[in-house]
Structures are given as structure tokens and as C-alpha cells.
Amino acid sequence: ETGVTQTPRHLVMGMTNKKSLKCEQHLGHNAMYWYKQSAKKPLELMFVYNFKEQTENNSVPSRFSPECPNSSHLFLHLHTLQPEDSALYLCASSQDLQGAGGYTFGSGTRLTVV
């Protein structure tokens, strides 16, 4: 365990479903991130939150909706996804946006859209 916990580990959903990914950290970090890792592609930064406020949306389609109710929890709400959205979704946290101590990543949620 890295200190960043993601649930579920695996998720299969239909294109008309609505589901949510959850990320939790109790490291005392104030910044949290969502990344997407598709097969054979580099990790792509999706969203950045700092002290619960979204500071960056990296041109992510609206079918992905993040939520950060507090500095310890981060959600990614999914609806009407496409098969090409199938990927590993990774959550990360850092002490602050400067990330001097590095980022801590979770193990990810493997999403399959059918």
C-alpha cells in the first residue's frame, strides 16, 4: 500500500451506465490528481485539485466529472463513456502543487467500457 487507495480495482461498465471511481489518501497531502493511462500511451494528466479546488482540467470530455469534497478524497464520476475510454485510471497526491516530496500514486482502477 502506498497510502493512496483507489476503489474499485477493476470496473466493467456499459456505455449507458453511470459509475464513480474513488480515491482516498491520509497522508496529509493537499493536492490530488487524476491521470489516465491507455494501452501503449504515456500517462495523461486529467485533473488537478489543490485544497479541494480544481486548478486544472486538461481538456477532458464532460463525460468525466471530478469531485473533491475534501483534501483526502477525490472522485471521478463517469457517464455515457465510450469504448476508447477503457484505460487504467490513476489517482495521485502530493503535499502541495510544488510536489517537493514527490507524488504518491494509487494502484489504479482498470476500467473496461463495453
Partner 1 sequence: DAKTTQPNSMESNEEEPVHLPCNHSTISGTDYIHWYRQLPSQGPEYVIHGLTSNVNNRMASLAIAEDRKSSTLILHRATLRDAAVYYCILRLNYGGSQGNLIFGKGTKLSVKP
State the residues that interact with partner 1 by CB under 8 A.
2, 4, 33, 35, 42-43, 45, 48, 50, 55-56, 90-92, 96-99, 101-108
Write the CB contacts of 37 (distance below 8 Å, at least 6 apart in sequence): 43, 44, 87, 88, 89, 90, 108
Give the shortest CB-4-to-partner 1 separation in angstroms: 8
Is the previous residue joined to 69 through a cis bond, with omega within 30 degrees of 0? no
- Looking at beta carbons only, is 85 or 106 nearer to partner 1? 106
CA 96 to chain CA mean position, Å:
17
Judged by phi (left if over 0) then psi (alpha if -120 to 50, else beta), residue 20 lies in beta
Give the shortest CB-28-to-partner 1 separation in angstroms: 16
- Looking at beta carbons only, is 64 or 105 nearer to partner 1? 105
- Looking at beta carbons only, is 63 or 99 nearer to partner 1? 99
